[in-house]
């Protein structure tokens, strides 16, 4: 077994702390990765605080993993020692269902093997994530990080980047389309950058005025503060696509009204409480309300290559492992600019 050291949550209420554990020895198709950086996603916080249901403690969170290949199994063909690689939100899937066969593994009908708080293929070994110095993953679930992307800034692309890239592509954001992003956090700011690069007209709908200058610097065309309820009248019927990245409950009815005829509101944010909706604003303008989960392995690779080509990287705050608990407090207060990334060398 390979010795690993990391940072884990031991209960919903305690701060995260140091944790030693083991990774499996590499099998034929496995890649051993020295983790260099790991982003902090709001999903890590929802999970370790058991906001989505009881977590299986201890939990080493982290699914925005960037690192360097340390070793490969005897039959690995896709990667070599020294390659820059990433791991996102899942480390395996059934590979046989119709969704896996169509490069839609994130929707695996058997359920994905999530990167943490889940189980490996054997169904009994808990998976542990990227707030740790090493991980072992089958080559088919490893991503290649283009060398032009610095590893610290590449890490958040593995979740925040793909979670916005996938719906922006699926709902065809591009020239002539008006796209709004609700919430300028880790996911939201990646949505802004990717939608901009795709050629869409981009609006941020934020719950305070604090991020206006940052948003304009990122290239948004319009920044709207939703505390002023008048904006919901002014913007009625304006957008083709709205993506909701908010991690808390918001009144969806207000936002449906901002869509054009046949417009779509896609939710990616996953608050702990249900979002209540009234069907009238959907029915009256044949609007759609949809959801989207991360992206497939193939799409994540496309996203990484797209970001390298367009020079898109997240805005990050690099922290040491000992600052993780403080970072969690700041994320829950919407005070992240715009993704915390842990420098794993300091673990």
What residues line the site for ligand NAP (CB under 6 A)?
41-43, 46, 159, 163, 183-188, 206-208, 211, 245-248, 250, 268-271, 292-294, 331, 334, 336
What is the nearest approach in angstroms of ligand NAP to the Cβ of residue 82?
A: 30
Question: How big is the CA angle at 38 (ends 33 and 41), to the nearest 5 degrees?
Answer: 135
What is the nearest approach in angstroms of ligand NAP to the Cβ of residue 176?
A: 25
What is the nearest approach in angstroms of ligand NAP to the Cβ of residue 270?
A: 4
**Nearer CB in complex with Zn ion: 159/303:** 159
Strand order of the sheet with strand 222-225? 222-225, 201-206, 178-182, 239-244, 259-267, 288-291
**Nearer CB in complex with ligand NAP: 184/259:** 184
DSSP H helical ranges for the chain = 42-48, 98-101, 151-154, 160-170, 186-198, 212-218, 231-234, 252-256, 280-284, 297-310, 324-332
- 225 burial class (0-12, 13-18, 19+ CB within 10 angstroms)? middle
- DSSP structure string for 293-323: -S--HHHHHHHHHHHHHHT----EEEE-GGG
**Nearer CB in complex with ligand NAP: 80/326:** 326
What is the nearest approach in angstroms of Zn ion to the Cβ of residue 284?
A: 34
CA distances to 35, 121, 192, 248, 253 from 183, in Å = 29, 35, 10, 10, 16
List 218's β-bridge partners, or say none.
Answer: none
Element at 180 (helix H, strand E): strand 178-182
Q: Which does residue 60 bind out of ligand NAP, Zn ion, none, counting CB within 5 to 8 angstroms by kind?
A: none
Residues forming contacts to Zn ion in the complex (CB under 5 A) are: 41, 43, 159
Q: Which does residue 334 bind out of Zn ion, ligand NAP, none, counting CB within 5 to 8 angstroms by kind?
A: ligand NAP
**Nearer CB in complex with Zn ion: 39/281:** 39
- 269 burial class (0-12, 13-18, 19+ CB within 10 angstroms)? buried
CA distances to 195, 228, 233, 256 from 207, in Å = 20, 9, 16, 17
With contact defined as beta carbons under 8 Å apart, do 320 and 343 qualify? yes
**Nearer CB in complex with ligand NAP: 77/276:** 276
Q: Which does residue 293 bind out of Zn ion, ligand NAP, none, counting CB within 5 to 8 angstroms by kind?
A: ligand NAP
What is the nearest approach in angstroms of Zn ion to the Cβ of residue 112?
A: 13
**Nearer CB in complex with Zn ion: 41/202:** 41
Q: Which does residue 207 bind out of Zn ion, ligand NAP, none, counting CB within 5 to 8 angstroms by kind?
A: ligand NAP
What is the nearest approach in angstroms of ligand NAP to the Cβ of residue 63?
A: 8
What is the nearest approach in angstroms of Zn ion to the Cβ of residue 43?
A: 4
What is the nearest approach in angstroms of Zn ion to the Cβ of residue 42?
A: 7
Which residue's CB comes closest to Zn ion?
41
Q: Which does residue 186 bind out of Zn ion, ligand NAP, none, counting CB within 5 to 8 angstroms by kind?
A: ligand NAP
> Chain centroid to CA 166: how far?
11
Q: Which of 122, 119, 134 is nearest to 59 (CA)?
A: 119
**Nearer CB in complex with Zn ion: 159/168:** 159
**Nearer CB in complex with ligand NAP: 78/210:** 210
């Amino acid at each position: 077994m390979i010795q690993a050291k990391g940072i884990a949550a031991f209960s919903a209420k305690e701060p995260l702390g140091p944790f030693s554990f083991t990774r499996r020895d590499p099998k034929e198709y496995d890649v051993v990765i020295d983790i260099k950086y790991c982003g902090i996603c709001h999903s890590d916080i929802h999970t370790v605080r058991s906001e989505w249901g009881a977590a299986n403690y201890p939990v080493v969170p982290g699914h925005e993993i960037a690192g360097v290949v340390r070793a490969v199994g005897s039959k690995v063909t896709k990667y070599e020692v020294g390659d820059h690689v990433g791991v996102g939100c899942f480390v395996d899937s059934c590979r046989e269902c119709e969704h896996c066969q169509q490069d839609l593994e994130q929707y695996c009908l058997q359920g994905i093997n999530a990167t943490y708080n889940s189980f490996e293929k054997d169904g009994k070994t808990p998976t542990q994530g990227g707030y740790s110095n090493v991980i072992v993953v089958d080559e088919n679930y490893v991503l290649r990080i283009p060398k032009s992307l610095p590893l610290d800034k590449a890490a958040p692309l593995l979740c925040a980047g793909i979670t916005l890239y996938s719906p922006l592509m699926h709902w065809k954001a591009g020239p002539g389309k008006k796209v709004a992003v609700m919430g300028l956090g880790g996911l939201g700011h990646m949505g802004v950058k990717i939608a901009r690069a795709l050629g869409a007209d981009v609006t941020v709908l934020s719950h305070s005025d604090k991020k206006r200058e940052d948003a304009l610097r990122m290239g948004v065309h319009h920044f709207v503060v939703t505390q002023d309820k008048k904006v919901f009248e002014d913007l009625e019927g304006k957008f083709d696509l709205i993506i909701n990245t908010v991690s808390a409950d918001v009144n969806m009815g207000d936002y449906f009204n901002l869509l054009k005829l046949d417009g779509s509101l896609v939710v990616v944010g996953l608050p702990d409480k249900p979002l209540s909706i009234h069907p009238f604003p959907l029915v009256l303008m044949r609007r759609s309300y949809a959801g989207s989960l991360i992206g497939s392995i193939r799409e994540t690779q496309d996203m990484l290559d797209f970001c390298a080509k367009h020079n898109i990287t997240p805005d990050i705050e690099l922290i040491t492992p000992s600052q993780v608990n403080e970072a969690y407090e700041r994320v829950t207060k919407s005070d992240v600019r715009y993704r915390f990334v842990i420098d794993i060398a300091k673990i």
